[in-house]
Amino acid sequence: MIKRRLLATRLSTGKYQLFVEEIIALSQRKKSSYVCISNVHMLIEAHQDKTFRSVVNNANIATPDGMPLAKSLGVLYGKSQDRVAGMDLFPSLLKESEERGLSVFLYGSTEEVLTKIIERIKKDHPGLKIAGYYSPPFRVLTEIEKKEIIDLINGSGPDFVMVALGCPKQEKWMAEHKNKINSCMLGVGGAFPVYAGVQDRAPQWVQNISMEWAYRLIQEPKRLWKRYVITNSLFILLMAGFSARHVVRVYNVKRRMK
């Protein structure tokens, strides 16, 4: 898939269904890989932290999650870009996995959320194989614990490992476990509590006008106010400068080609 640059991050581009097919192809290669579901917060984290930037840019696929990213790619590169959000990808991949006989391991979140997800999967996708699940302790793990988790996941032989540890922790975890966990890892974050029914997702019309972040902010103001208010403002400022430089680069390229 072609990757296009936004700020310091390279995002994969294409139609939504192409992402689904490419992610499934990653799992079927039976090699260690990971997919970043990239939103505004992640782009700002990557802009400010070179190490984290490398984590995102080295992902096999980095999807544009959020209408601001999808629309920015469309405007700057002249081709309509679908939004590819974790909350959409997660149920899509569960459905495809059931139909194609692929298995899924759930890693992260809480025991309560994982239990609710499994209950819903058994109802919505009775033919889907759940290879296993694990809710890690909320602390730094020892090397022994890390190895035990790797052995647990690899021993269950999943095609997908769905990871929900929150950004940037889940992306760093996937990068750390590249070539250690023999599956396709996806950082789906907030998709877990939404699928479990613990949190509500914004109505479609709110998503369409790029205001899903505001809906989530209303739900969790104490945890998210800094991320959305400060981060979104910084994104707008940085994108203004990036867009101006992009226009100048394109103009200079076209002038040299004449």
In a domain, 250, yes or no: no
pLDDT bracket for residue 251 (50, 70, 90) = low
pLDDT above 70 covers a percentage of the chain that reads 93
pLDDT bracket for residue 254 (50, 70, 90) = confident
**pLDDT tens digits, one per residue of 163-207:** 999 999 999 999 999 999 999 999 998 899 999 998 877 677 767
Domain that holds residue 29: 3-199
In a domain, 22, yes or no: yes
Number of domains in the chain: 1
In a domain, 99, yes or no: yes
Write the DSSP string, the chain.
--EEEETTEEEE-S-HHHHHHHHHHHHHTTS-EEEEEE-HHHHHHHHH-HHHHHHHHTSSEEEE-SHHHHHHHHHHHSS------HHHHHHHHHHHHHHHT-EEEEEES-HHHHHHHHHHHHHH-TT-EEEEEE---SSPPPHHHHHHHHHHHHHH--SEEEEES-TTHHHHHHHHTTTTS-SEEEE-TTHHHHHHTSSPPPPHHHHHTT-HHHHHHHHSHHHHHIIIIIHHHHHHHHHHHHHHHHHHHHHHHHHHH-
Answer yes or no: is pLDDT of 223 > 80.
Answer: no
Question: CATH code at 14?
Answer: 3.40.50
In a domain, 235, yes or no: no
Q: What is the average pLDDT across 102-118?
A: 96
In a domain, 46, yes or no: yes
In a domain, 234, yes or no: no
In a domain, 223, yes or no: no
**pLDDT tens digits, one per residue of 36-86:** 999 999 999 999 999 999 999 999 999 999 889 999 999 999 999 999 999
Distance CA 199, CA 113 (A): 10
Contacts of 91 (CB under 8 A, 6+ apart): 191, 195
**pLDDT tens digits, one per residue of 89-101:** 999 999 999 999 9
In a domain, 165, yes or no: yes
Answer yes or no: is pLDDT of 213 > 70.
Answer: no
pTM, whole model, 2 decimals? 0.90
Mean pLDDT rounded to a whole number for the chain: 91
